[in-house]
């Protein structure tokens, strides 16, 4: 699965305002509402579900990356938002490091395979440290989108 | 599920020395309906890191470091996927038992409790 298969173009934020775990989750979920990918009426329910998942164990998977996520019956396909916090946010990550790069995923309850393949793609691409650095230092959403597109092309080649 | 050693079986002092690099392997099946997603991958990598041995997970065409959640997630192992866990080092057997146990217990995921949570 490629980034372009789940990342909503209009839900990419190069500089989040939030400085807390819940804050960044709210901001990213709102970006999905703004992008028309999830319904405003479901906003609180989705944020709550993502926070509930975080309570079971942080999705900060190391290297300054977190993948907050949930299943939610209001979506009929996997949708994702991308955000960068240049200064980093304490996310109780597995390696204790602050998180700068976020991929937030909301998927339909009956599609666990899609969710797995999105996680696969994210983790595979982020093994490339220079790719992480480029995303974190990107100047705006267009640059992030461009980097993700490049990674998609690279993914097909390799 | 069997634990199979590639090294010799006689319990001599020589074997003790060799054991530091002995590779043992164990077959497991991903039993969780949601597959090997972020939470079980985290539990697996955490368990693997407790041991000195090198731990690798092998799917059909892929071999990854079991101590890294990022690597484990790249397997995208869905329910029913067969994996081989390989451990190389002085505590290989204990490590395999501990990790195998996680798979046997489906990483403590019960359909009813966790229906809504990956």
- Chain A residues with CB under 8 Å of B46 CB are 94
For a pLDDT cut of 70, what percent of chain B falls above it? 75
Residues with Cβ within 8 Å of A132's Cβ and at least 6 positions away in sequence, in order, are: A63, A64, A65, A101, A126
pLDDT for B114: 47
- Chain B residues with CB under 8 Å of A48 CB are none
In chain A, the residue whose alpha carbon lies closest to the alpha carbon of B116 is: A71
Alpha carbon of A69: minimum distance to chain B alpha carbons (Å): 8
Of residues B64 and A128, the one with the higher pLDDT is B64
Where do the domains of chain A lie?
A: 3-157
- Chain A residues with CB under 8 Å of B107 CB are none
Number of domains in chain B: 1
Tokens of A68: 């907050």
Give yes or no for B50 touching A (CB within 8 A). no
Give yes or no for B69 touching A (CB within 8 A). yes
pLDDT for A35: 97
Strand (E) or helix (H) holding A106: strand A99-107
pLDDT for B17: 52
pLDDT for B3: 47
Give the class (CATH, top level) of A3-157: alpha beta
Where in the sequence is the domain holding B30, given as residue range(s)?
19-108
Classify residue B93: in a domain, yes or no: yes
Dihedrals φ, ψ of B84, to 5°?
-115, 130
Instruction: Choose from B74, B108, B114 for mutation: most chain A CBs within 10 A.
Output: B74
**Paired sense of beta strands A60-62 and A65-66, if any:** antiparallel
Q: How far is it, in rounded angstroms, from Cα A97 to Cα A63?
A: 7
In chain A, the residue whose alpha carbon lies closest to the alpha carbon of B74 is: A120
* Res. B20 pLDDT band, cuts 50 70 90: low
By CB atoms closer than 10 A (0-12, 13-18, 19+), residue A35 is middle
CB-based contact A41:A77 (threshold 8 Å):
no
Catalytic-role residue among B37, B53, B57, B85: B37
Is B37 close to A57, i.e. CB distance below 8 A?
A: no
- Chain B residues with CB under 8 Å of A62 CB are 68-70
Taking the CA atoms of residue A125, residue A144, residue A96 and residue A1 in that order, the dihedral angle to the nearest 10 degrees is -30
B101 belongs to the catalytic site? no
pLDDT for B19: 56
pLDDT for A78: 97
In chain A, the residue whose alpha carbon lies closest to the alpha carbon of B69 is: A61
CB-based contact B92:B24 (threshold 8 Å):
yes
Q: Which of B116, B118, B49, B61 is nearest to B89 (CA)?
A: B49
Tokens of A3: 């980034």
CATH number of the domain that B68 lies in?
3.30.1340.10
pLDDT for B21: 78
Q: What is the pLDDT along chain A (158 residues), one digit of tens a residue?
A: 999 999 999 999 999 999 999 999 999 999 999 999 999 999 999 999 999 999 999 999 988 999 999 999 999 999 999 999 999 999 999 889 999 999 999 999 998 899 999 999 999 998 888 899 999 999 999 999 999 999 999 876 44
């Amino acid at each position: 699965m490629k980034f372009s298969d789940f990342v909503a173009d209009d839900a990419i934020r190069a500089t989040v305002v939030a400085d807390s775990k819940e804050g960044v989750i709210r901001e990213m979920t709102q970006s999905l509402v703004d992008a028309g990918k999830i319904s405003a009426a479901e906003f609180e329910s989705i944020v709550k579900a993502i926070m509930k998942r975080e309570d079971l164990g942080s999705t900060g998977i190391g290297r300054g990356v977190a993948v907050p996520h949930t299943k939610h019956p209001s979506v009929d396909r996997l949708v994702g938002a991308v955000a960068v916090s240049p200064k980093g946010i304490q996310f109780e990550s597995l390696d204790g490091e602050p998180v700068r790069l976020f991929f937030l995923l909301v998927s339909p309850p009956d599609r666990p395979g899609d969710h797995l393949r999105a996680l696969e793609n994210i983790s595979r691409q982020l093994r490339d440290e220079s790719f992480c650095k480029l995303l974190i230092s990107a100047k705006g959403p267009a640059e992030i989108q461009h980097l993700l597109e490049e990674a998609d092309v690279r993914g097909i080649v390799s | 599920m069997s634990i199979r050693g590639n090294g010799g079986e006689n319990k001599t002092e020589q074997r003790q020395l060799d054991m530091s690099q002995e590779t043992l392997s164990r077959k497991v099946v991903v039993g969780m309906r949601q597959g090997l997603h972020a939470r079980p991958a985290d539990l697996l990598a955490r368990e693997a890191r407790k041991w000195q041995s090198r731990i690798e997970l092998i799917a059909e065409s892929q071999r990854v470091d079991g101590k890294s959640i990022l690597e484990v997630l790249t397997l995208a192992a869905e329910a029913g996927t067969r994996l081989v866990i390989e451990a190389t080092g002085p505590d290989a057997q204990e490590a395999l038992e501990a990790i195998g146990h996680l798979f046997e217990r489906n990483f403590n995921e019960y359909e009813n409790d966790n229906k809504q949570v990956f």
